[in-house]
Structure 1
């Protein structure tokens, strides 16, 4: 897979379009945790397998495919790379014709208010943070982008909906984006995943 010359390229559409053009479209890649590694948590957090689920920045991961095979059949996937969306739509057209694939930016979702029960981000917000040289003092554009994603997710979540964010980012670097101006209408839980190298699952409940 082509690696960027600088980490901030991970936050650009151009990099991802080039990467997905050069990679084998039949070879999926999962960032961070696979569905199998997260399934025990997800089944508890999403007990209703008819829930409408939005996967943010799906890439060419097997995550949605594996979730579908586990019985979740109402999954909508978005990514801002048109290249990977076309690849994924073609890959699943016959085997999972009801699964949706849309080219879309997580900072400006085209869905109606209160139209999903669950939204899942597995590394997408992290990609937007790569242009920062300091996790302690991120630039204003990163704060704006990450806050926009969370605000848009909360807008499209139904009352009592849940936003699941999986990352290696520690709480003192990530909580500010998940709460901030939304703290009065959300409740945040944090689950630590793994024994040696920790990942985190941030569970943001919409309470309004």
Structure 2
């Protein structure tokens, strides 16, 4: 399997402005600069294992990892028994890096795809997981209480696409540092219900938003 990738700590990969986190060019360049590294925003699988196991249930679940980047989350979930995982990212650089890195995980899938325009069939996913992608789309200058129309449009496109591809009874799990009064409004849909869990990490809170679609009768 080779040498284990190392976590990125090099400050040269940080953007000049937070808004760059929402651009494809920034991520392409970052992944080119750190081809052998991994980076996990917010939480690792060890931190989330209990919550995900309780929420997801069956390990046969069809999982979509949104904006996978070079996170260890899907690889660790795969090793724990979740074999049906599709990882997507709009960076072809990181998708190829991760495909090569996970060659030993034979059922793992990697595709270049924009989360705002999912090339997936309606109802084809049981659980969609986002750990940092929506947050990247929300990086901009301005008032966090009054996000721009462009930000709301991009976030709305992603959330609507997730809604479309989720199956009956499916879940969208979003891990973020964003507090409910800033984040929950972006998930409001008639098609699902949303609840929030709080994760405390030494005094700093993270939040897990779970949007669940109702189970349709057969």
TM over 0.5: yes
| CA apart distance, 1:33 | 0.4
Equivalent residue, structure 1, for 2:3: none
Residue in 2 aligned with 1:178? 187
Counterpart in the other structure of 2:176 = 167
Query: How far apart are the structure 2 equivalents of 1:10 and 1:73?
Result: 30
Q: Does residue 200 of structure 1 match 2:207? A: yes
Give yes or no for contact 1:191–1:200 (8 Å, CA) kept in 2.
yes
Matches of 1:132 and 1:142, distance apart in 2: 11
1:57 positional shift: 0.5
**What's 1:13 paired with?**
24
Work out the number of aligned pairs and report it.
203
1:169 and 1:200 in contact (8 A); partners too: yes
Alignment TM-score, normalising by the size of structure 1: 0.95
Measured in 1, the distance between the counterparts of 2:143 and 2:95 equals 32
Q: Structure 1 residue 156 and structure 2 residue 165: aligned?
A: yes
CA-CA distance at 1:41 after TM superposition: 0.3
Name the residue aligned to 2:193: 187
Q: Is the 8 A contact 1:116 1:157 kept in 2?
A: yes
Backbone CA RMSD of aligned residues = 1.0
1:81 and 1:40 map into 2 onto residues whose CA distance is: 30
Pairing 1:35–2:42 present: no
Shift of 1:60: 0.4
Contact map agreement 1:132 1:142 (CA 8 A) in 2: no
| SS at structure 2 position matched to 1:185 | coil
TM-score with structure 2 length normalisation?
A: 0.91
Moved over 4 A (4+): none
